[in-house]
Amino acid sequence: MAETNEEVAVLVQRVVKDITNAFRRNPHIIDRCHMHPAASKPRLYHCMEREHGSSIYKMRKNQQRRLGRKELILSGTLNPIKDLHLGKLALTKFPKSPETWIHRRWVLQQLIQETSLPSFVTKGNLGTIPAERTQRLIQEEMEVCGEAAGRYPSNYNAWSHRIWVLQHLAKLDVKILLDELSSTKHWASMHVSDHSGFHYRQFLLKSLISQTVIDSSVMEQNCLRSEPALVLPKDEEAAASTEEPRINLPHLLEEEVEFSTDLIDSYPGHETLWCHRRHIFYLQHHLNGRFPQSMTQLSPADSPGGTLSDLHLIPAGSQLSQAMEVDGLNDSSKQGYSQETKRLKRTPAPDSLGLEMEHRFIDQVLSTCRNVEQARFANAYRKWLVTLSQ
């Protein structure tokens, strides 16, 4: 029987390692843990140990209190990476478990804070990108979230963890946001009623908008001239000399609208898809009202004053100072939908051309659909658009 803390520490390490190996050999052990899905994490590990036939707690018979996992990690007894791995296994059985996700974030924070190596490195003239080690952590979390999302419909805990990782580990790095947008597209198309999955895409687009504004304003400050007419050529030079990814925001939003149209036509009767469309329309309109032409043209390929699609007619002669007003945009990804609704009511009415196209889309859906729910959602969307222009 173990008496000293050191002996316990060694045994804990061994037990964790044994459990991990046992799971690797036979992943189905976890299915024998018949527990209520809301069972707390300590009981889950208790159960896993029981199945495996060993127990950390047997060894601590004389102690009053069990060592918590946080203490084990802080004391250096338990390797945080191993703990993450064990958590990953637990999530295969309990993909929603709030405690597991919360603990996971704590471990990740320990990992970022404790290391002597930097999490971010500078690259090029502007900006920083996540270091390789951080990138690997991020990728692993994306994978864990993806798997958990597949195991339980609209898994809010998994998706909010995913968002947290992008905010705190990736610091909303633009390239990662773009990668996530494209890599989750297929998943979304195969889970058309997964509200959390589509909310994630809305978060990505909102973050891209806010990050683009920040990058542009940094570029503005670095430029020598500040007149709108001269900004673009300077931007082109600046952009060409860095490795910043080129983002065409209006194009991205337009693509998302097309994606939404495609899904609504193929899979009639899913409210999530219509909800998503409202969000995208709102983002397009929001983008519309906030930026003068020069700010949105980050791609050197765009000729000045020409290529923005007609859908996004921006009021001419906007003051640059107005465009720098980025309050709220930074936080938009963190604030709730109700905030956005309030802001929506304050901003000027969306341009008539965009609205017209949406009404035509609704007409087309209503004339061809035979699904009762689809008709209901289309009509509700129409009503919502009408309230926007009031």
CA Rg, the chain, in Å? Answer: 25
> Virtual CA dihedral for 66, 70, 72, 76, nearest 10 degrees?
-160
Q: What is the residue-wise DSSP string for 89-158?
A: HHHHH-TT-HHHHHHHHHHHHHHHHH-SS-SEEE-SSS-EEE-HHHHHHHHHHHHHHHHHHHHSTT-HHH
How far does the chain reach from its first CA to its final CA, in angstroms?
75
Which residue has tokens 């390692």? Answer: 17
Smallest separation, CB 382 to another protein (Å): 21
Q: Rounded CA gap, 291 and 295, in Å?
A: 6
Site for another protein in 159-198 (CB under 8 A): 189-193
Site for another protein in 250-289 (CB under 8 A): 265-268, 270
| Interacting residue with another protein among 31, 143, 356, 363 (CB under 8 A) | 31
Smallest separation, CB 142 to another protein (Å): 21
Q: Which is nearer to another protein, 64 or 367 (CB)?
A: 367
Smallest separation, CB 84 to another protein (Å): 23
Site for another protein in 134-163 (CB under 8 A): 153
Smallest separation, CB 331 to another protein (Å): 33
Q: What is the residue-wise DSSP string for 21-67?
A: HHHHH-GGGGGG----TT--HHHHHHHHHHHHT--TTGGGTT-SSPP
Q: Which is nearer to another protein, 2 or 192 (CB)?
A: 192
Q: Which is nearer to another protein, 31 or 143 (CB)?
A: 31
Binding mask 87-106 for another protein (x = CB under 8 A): ------x-------------
| Interacting residue with another protein among 371, 375, 380, 382 (CB under 8 A) | 371
> Binding of another protein at residue 28 (CB under 8 A)?
yes
Which residue has tokens 């993909």? Answer: 95
Binding positions for another protein, rule: CB under 8 A: 28, 31-32, 93, 153, 189-193, 265-268, 270, 370-371
